[in-house]
Structure 1
Amino acid sequence: MLLGISWAQAQTGHLPEIEVRGPRDASIGTANSASEGAVERESYQSRPKLRPGDIVEAVPGVVATQHSGDGKANQYFLRGFNLDHGTDFAMWVGGMPVNMPTHGHGQGWADLNFLIPELVSGVSYRKGPYFVQNGDFSLAGSASMDYFSALDAPFAELTLGADNYRRLLAAGSRTVDDQTWMAALELQGSDGPWQVPENLRKANAVLRYSQGSQSRGFNVTGMAYKSDWTATDQVPQRLIDAGQLDRYGSLNASDGGNTRRLSLSGQWFDKSPQGQTQASAYAIDYRMDLFSDFTYFLNNPQLGDQFEQADRRRVFGAQASHSRPNTIGGQSGILSFGAQWRGDRIGNVSLYNTQLRQRHDTVRDDKVSQDLFSVYGEQLVQFSDRWRGYLGLRGDLLRYDVLGREPVYGPGNSGNGSDSILTPKAGLVFTVTPEQELYLNAGTGYHSNDVRGATITVDPQSGLPAERVPALVKGRGAEAGWRYSPGEQLSLTTALWMLDLDSELVYLGDAGTTEAGRPSARRGIEATLRWAPSSQWRFELDGALSRARFRGQAPEGGGNHIDNAIETAVSAGVIWTRGPLMATLRLRYMGPRALDTTNTVRSSATTLLNFGSRYAVNKHLTLGLDVFNLAGSQGNDIEYYYASCTAGEVASGACGSGIDDRHIHPMEPRTVRVNARWTF
């Protein structure tokens, strides 16, 4: 039984497979917590996706939005966090990490725009710091995705939509004996609803070779992605209210960027009754140039506040793990252990002040090298037919070297060092009946800080002394959960959780400095429902309530609310299938949240309703229709509260030290897309 549990967990982690199927949801007898699982393929493939990153909304409690152009990483929310672009939410695709440490824009940057959703074979997730396999960026949770190794049949799909949206996807595979080649090509362009056309141009390609069987095999995957775009960043609400700016207008038509990602990865596995072994390695070549302007003319009334963030890096990594059955004190168990290494060779991570994308001042220009070495072990024991539990320990060592090349403050902000951390994990499961289980989990985890904050001595903007920050920050979490699953038709889970962080330190890529944060505490409750009363109907409902506060005495004039921390998230979906027709309706609600630490300013709530349908005309042709924002809601994808000044406000003398205001990025209006797929 225990070996079956271990293999089910390995499947959830997406071992490279030849068989065309996805992982089953974690269920009675296999799950070790209430908040881990695998999303059923019918759920994430049927839902309309405005952007590739929307696929992570299939993870219960996750909200993915956008506050800039569609070439930029999504904004993520989960468990009382505004995760920015990925901090504290680790993502993996095809055995490769997506999050970028010491990134030009923000720590943990997780850009999923290279993902091709139609190729995703499975989405597995874990929430909380209770799992030894998960390290950096996984305090709130993690999601792992992989691609099919083989497709049912080759196909070509064309999608057209409003605002000059067009997308072409072609994919196919060929198998001879136990050897399979799979390839896909995606081309996409769009102007979006913005008054300044987005002019998105995107090219994406995947090539995978796989060989083997269900018991032993490997794959090698190459990916190539390139995108450039013009962005409409968030704009002040005061200008919209005064009729001076349209909701979809821009204050800087030269914002935007370009990015490129090339990768080569390999995965190998061996499964036998004596144990299971996995190994993988990857190499990534990545670059990004991002031009943003959030404060307009506040800091530089003559040239404006636009800035460029540049990132050039190569990422190398490898990992291996092994699990095997054993006996502890006469009780059956499974021993699992593994090792991981990731090395980032960042040739250029820089911040420049710009005007119309032309550099006129260098704030930071650094060369960084960092390595993260990790080892872990876990012992799972089946105490009886009704009790099982595990103990685990993970160790991480981070080494880093920062070379500052900006001539004034660069030498003083250079340096090297190391940091290490041990994070124990534990879980206990009680099988109440064959249909329901109770879970208790606890553990410590961590996230890394931008290592430039660990070597900084001088604020590059002001020249004043700056305080260094720890490279690794610990968090502690616990969770009690319940799962009820009387059969494949119904699954219900609930979880009460808590998470405390030693600090909320954030490296500000927009300023080149580290913002000191206080210790924090988060508490919440989550519930999920999956119900398929018949072969035609499937219902899904997720709800999450969170409370996020700073700990300790608030500074004078401040409060203890964590600004922009999500408080309420509800999502619901229904899928109806009858013969060749499939239709789905998806609703997402994100409640109001504090925009400042005193909770004086709160965001508005947003409700988004999407519709999708597919009709198989015959065995070759399938037609589709997606309607995003079906109700035409005028909600906002994101809201911030800070000070800014426009050129007009500077000229009129109304600027002063800045005008505090909401800054919003609106949800896209009702948008229709049609597609046709031809299967060969």
Structure 2
Amino acid sequence: MTALANGEPKPFIINQKECKANVIESPFQKPGDTIPKLKNKNLKDTKIELADTIKGLMLDQVVISSKKVEGEIIGIDLKKVPVNSSQDLLRKVPGLFIAQHAGGGKAEQIFLRGFDNDHGTDIAITADRVPVNIVSHAHGQGYSDLHFLIPETVKNIDFGKGSYYADKGDFNTSGYVDFHTYDSVDESMFKIEGGSFNTYRLASIVNIVNDAVKDRHAYLAGEYNYTDGPFDVKQDFKRLNLLGKYNQAIGRFGYISAQASVFNSSWNASGQIPERAVTEGLVSRFGSLDTTEGGNTSRVNILANYNYTPNDNQKLQTSFYYTHNVFNLYSDFTFYLVHPDKMDEINQYDNRDTYGTNNSYSYHFDLGESKLDWVSGIGARFDNIHDLELSYVTARTELNERLAWGSAKEANANAYTSADFSFGKWRLNGGLRADWFYFSYFDKLLPENGNPSYTKARISPKFSAFYNPTDKVSIYVKSGLGFHSNDVRDVVLQHGENILPLSAGTDLGTILKPIKGLIVNPILWYTYLSNEYVWNGDEYGISDVGKTKRIGADLTLRYQPLPYLYLDTEFNWANPRLIGEPKGNNYVELAPTFTSTGGIGIQTTNGFSCNLRYRYMHDRPANQDNSIVAQGYFVNDLVMGYQIKKWSVNMQIQNLFNVKWNEAMFAQTTRLQGEPSAGIEELTFTPGTPMYIKAGITYKI
């Protein structure tokens, strides 16, 4: 069995060009290792194994008692449901919803388990073990922009809901998502796509080295996107991504890998507009009140890994990373409320370097009829923030007023240990995590304040229990403490208070295979936060609403009645409430209450595929007393493809039935020209994309 990027076994892969089978018996061995007993297998055996590999894409092959059955299911989802954008990658996580409201260039707004995570405040996101969340970001705490990922390079997605995982730290409250890109590719690929609103995309993967004998691999990947978008003001959106990876075996037991990526984008945005501006005819639904919104952003990632696997029972992993981020955003949320003569456009600017390391050691103990897997790790991260800026500007060029301007240093050192003990029909997992944080901020507007600094530590215990009465039933309970760090600017303003707000949660769930090809995963869950506050980068202040609680239920269904037919759906209900507030005035603003996603897909043996997808967001409170409601929506997408030999074509239709919907919504006090100086509080929104058609062609070499 080969190993998935998350460490779980998967069916081995056949190299059809050489008719060789690469098999890994132990999940601790590195990809590419060959078991000696396989070398003499004849061609007949190889064909049988190839058929087994194809079956591995069937739900019926998923092992319910697996430690990472969710990862196996999402691996099948990646094969059965096409990914056409970096946004689609996040949508692969069951129960996760996203919204875009800044011209396609800003990170998506993320919803999960009754949390409006903003751009990442309560969800931990990594890519190839490199953290995506940006601490103390100019726009918001935990800001996570995944647009540097090229969809065609993503091999696997690992995810978990709740704060139950010892190797996950900051921002792991509602859950975590880990993306893993391919270490090697067998073929080169070139893709060109074009569609509505003057949209086009070029993508390519070039196989540089694929030496199976020396276990040495390298490839380059690139992507360029452009669109004018459906808005009255052309988005003029441009995005360029480049990725290079190199991997090589070192001696008998070592394996090194290195990768680098560059991402750059720029865009114009139409932003959020109040409903009355449309009803009064001031602008269309796709119009703008401030036509100079937009921005640009860039990211550089450099990563080096070393794996040492001396035997089937031990594995040492170590990695070092560096990222450079620049973020420059122009937005206008209030229009004529603060500056009636010049409008209220703000500029948020962030420039930083981040350095970090992750190290882990795992050991497998075979205790006869029982097994113990022990994993421990240490890590560190340092953010050197050169500029954190918030200013009022006019038309991106004229500086009207600096609200904030400073530099900061933030560090996190962490250590964890966990043990997974399997015996009989039981599996117990216990873990403990320790985190230490350092915050320092220099206010360039008030240099006389000096450079105050604060530290804080957090201990996070975890415990889960699994019971598998049969190979078709798994019952489990998960529990643990988590946290998300506060913005360094608020840490200083509060003189070191509320640095690491605590979260606590519990899951009670089961995974069932009641009939062939059907997997059912119902979950009841509860989450508590000691203080649900979020730094508001738009207004330079904290949104402090106190303690909160959430109870909810998730239901995941996957059904594959026939090899070519795949059905999937998610139902997610949540009841988010403020603790200590009177009933009717205890709603959590913009927290989702019910969402559902799913679809039906067909893949035929002659290369044709078709997927009809849906996503549903229910109405939700936009303010604390629910007097303003963010309206829900139901949107369908259609994705089709056909492959013959080295050629493939694809077409997608987003918003298939051209419904009128709002993608992002906020309760906001705004002022239009001629209105009272106090402004009016009502719903502001960014309209969802109308019917959008895109088609493309791919050639593999």
| Shared fold, TM over 0.5 | yes
Contact 1:16/1:267 (8 A) holds in 2:
no
Asked if 1:602 is matched to 2:620, the reply is no
Decide which of 656, 659, 680 is 1:630's aligned counterpart.
656
Amino acid at match of 2:260: G
Match of 1:186 among 218, 223, 232: 223
Amino acid across the alignment from 2:372: G
Contact 2:5 2:180 in 1 (8 A): no
Q: Deviations over 1:490-536 (max 9, x none)?
A: 32111110000000111111122222221000110001111111111
What is the Cα deviation at residue 16 of structure 1? 7.8
1:576 and 1:584 in contact (8 A); partners too: yes
Give, in angstroms, the shift of residue 125 of structure 1.
Answer: 0.4
- Indicate which of 301, 306, 312 corresponds to 2:351: 312
Q: 1:155 aligns with which of 164, 186, 189?
A: 189
Match of 1:89 in 2: 123
Aligned equivalents of 1:199, 1:371: Cα separation in 2: 37
- Which stretch has the larger CA shift, 537-546 or 172-181? 172-181
Residues 76/186 of structure 1: CA separation in 2 closer, same or farther (3 Å cut)? same
**Residue 304 of structure 2 contacts residue 319 of structure 2 at CA under 8 Å; is this kept in 1?**
yes
Q: 2:210 aligns with which of 175, 179, 188?
A: 175
Q: For 2:292, which of 225, 235, 254 is the aligned residue?
A: 254
Are the aligned partners of 1:235 and 1:251 in contact in 2 as well (CA < 8 Å)?
A: yes
Q: What residue identity is the alignment partner of 2:480?
A: G
Contact 2:609 2:642 in 1 (8 A): yes
Q: Counterparts of 1:442-591 in structure 2 under 5 Å?
A: 442-456=479-493, 469-485=497-513, 489-554=517-582, 559-578=585-604, 579-591=606-618
SS at match of 2:562: coil
Distance 1:332 1:14, change over 3 A: closer
How much has 1:81 moved relative to structure 2? 0.6
> 1:30 is matched by which residue type in structure 2?
S
Equivalent-residue separation in structure 2 for 1:613 and 1:254 (angstroms): 37
After superposition, where does 1:321-360 map in structure 2 within 5 Å?
321-326=360-365, 332-358=371-397, 359-360=399-400
Inter-CA distance 250–491: structure 2 relative to 1 (3 Å threshold): same
- Give the Å deviation of 1:5: 14
Aligned to 2:401: 361
Q: CA deviation at 1:487?
A: 8.3
Note if 1:204 corresponds to 2:248: no
- Aligned match of 1:115: 149
C-alpha separation in 1, matches of 2:187 and 2:6: 32
Residues 5 and 156 of structure 2 are in contact (CA less than 8 Å); yes or no, is this contact kept in structure 1? no
1:273/1:621 CA distance change after superposition, 3 Å? closer
1 CA distance for matches of 2:28 and 2:544? 38
How far is the alpha carbon of 1:18 from its aligned partner? 5.4
> TM-score, normalised on structure 2?
0.89
Mean CA deviation greater in 670-679 or 42-51: 42-51
> What residue in structure 2 maps to residue 225 of structure 1?
263
1:460 aligned partner: none
Whole-angstrom distance in 2 between the partners of 1:39 and 1:553: 40
Contact map agreement 2:336 2:342 (CA 8 A) in 1: yes
TM-aligned CA deviation for residue 628 of structure 1: 0.4
The higher relative CO (CA closer than 8 Å, separation ≥ 6) is in 1
Deviations 1:294-339, CA, capped at 9 Å, x for gaps: 1111111122111101000001110111121348999642221111
| Deviation readout 1:448-472 (Å, 9 max, x if unpaired) | 0101101016xxxxxxxxx764221
Query: 1:472 aligns to what SS in structure 2?
Result: coil
1:664: which partner in 2? 685
Instruction: Judge conservation of contact 1:560–1:598 (CA < 8 Å) in 2.
Output: yes
Counterparts of 1:195 and 1:51, CA distance in 2: 23
Mapped partners of 2:82, 2:693: distance in 1: 11
CA RMSD of aligned residues (A): 2.8
Match of 2:15 in 1: none
Q: 1:387 aligns with which of 380, 401, 426?
A: 426
Change (3 A) 1:669 1:323: same
Write out per-residue CA displacement over residues 105-128 of structure 1, whole angstroms, 9 at most, x where no aligned residue: 000000011111111000110111
**For 1:181-214, what per-residue CA distance to the aligned partner results, in whole angstroms no more than 9, with x for missing partners?**
1101111111100000000111110000012399
**Secondary structure, aligned partner of 1:229:** strand
Which secondary structure state, in structure 1, belongs to the residue aligned with residue 106 of structure 2?
A: coil
Whether contact under 8 Å (1:16, 1:219) holds in the other structure is no
| Aligned residue pair count | 657
For 2:432 and 2:588, locate their aligned partners in 1 and report how far apart those are by CA, in whole Å.
Answer: 30
Evaluate the alpha carbon distance shift between residue 367 and residue 17 of structure 1 in structure 2; reply closer, same or farther with a 3 A threshold.
farther
List 4+ stretches of structure 1 deviating above 6 A: 3-6, 13-16, 19-26, 327-330
Is the 8 Å Cα contact of residues 506 and 517 (structure 1) preserved in structure 2?
A: no
Q: Does the aligned pair in 1 maintain the 2:463–2:478 contact within 8 Å?
A: yes
Counterpart in the other structure of 1:102: 136
What residue is the counterpart of 1:55 in the other structure?
89
1:262-277 map, 5 Å = 262-271=300-309, 272-277=311-316
| Candidates 422, 431, 434, aligned match of 2:468 | 431
User: 1:408-464 CA deviation, whole Å, 9 max, x = no partner?
Assistant: xx544851010110010001111121110100111100100101101016xxxxxxx
C-alpha distance in 2 between matches for 1:469 and 1:302: 39
Structure 1 residue 240 displacement after superposition:
1.2
Is the contact between residue 156 and residue 180 of structure 2 (CA under 8 Å) also seen in structure 1? yes
Could you say if the C-alpha distance between residues 220 and 249 of structure 1 is closer, same or farther in structure 2, counting changes exceeding 3 Å?
Answer: same
Quick one: distance in 1 between partners of 2:455 and 2:72?
36
- Structure 2 distance, partners of 1:327, 1:97, is 33
Paired residues of 2:110 and 2:118 also in contact (CA < 8 A) = yes
Q: Distance in 2 between matches of 1:427 and 1:261?
A: 37
Separation (CA, whole Å) in 2 of partners of 1:406 and 1:99: 27
- Corresponding position: 1:8 with 2:8: yes
Gaps of 5+ in 2: 12-26, 34-49
- Aligned residue in 2 for 1:404: 443
Change (3 A) 1:65 1:535: same
Separation in structure 1 between the aligned mates of residue 28 and residue 275 of structure 2, nearest angstrom? 44
Q: Does structure 1 retain, via aligned residues, the 8 Å contact 2:80–2:566? A: no
2:99–2:664 CA contact under 8 A, matched in 1: yes
Q: Following the alignment from structure 1 to structure 2, what is the Cα–Cα distance between the partners of residues 15 and 264?
A: 25
Aligned-partner Cα distance in 2 for 1:611–1:39: 22
Q: Which residue of 2 aligns with 1:464?
A: none
Q: Distance in 2 between matches of 1:366 and 1:236?
A: 32
CA contact (8 A) 2:573 2:594 kept: yes
Deviation of 1:276 (Å): 2.1
CA 1:328–1:497: 2 relative to 1, 3 Å: farther
8 Å Cα contact 1:5/1:29 also seen in 2: no
Cα distance in 2 for partners of 1:137, 1:27 equals 30
Secondary structure of the 1:108 match is: coil
What per-residue deviation string (whole Å, max 9, x for no partner) do you get for residues 353-393 of structure 1?
A: 111012222111111111100000112222x3111212111
Could you list the runs of 5+ residues in structure 1 that have no partner in the other structure?
458-466
**Letter aligned with residue 629 of structure 1:** N
Alpha-carbon distance in structure 2 between the residues aligned to 1:4 and 1:201:
33
Q: 1:587 to 1:123 in 2, by over 3 A?
A: same
Query: Do 2:4 and 2:156's aligned partners in 1 also have CA atoms closer than 8 Å?
Result: no
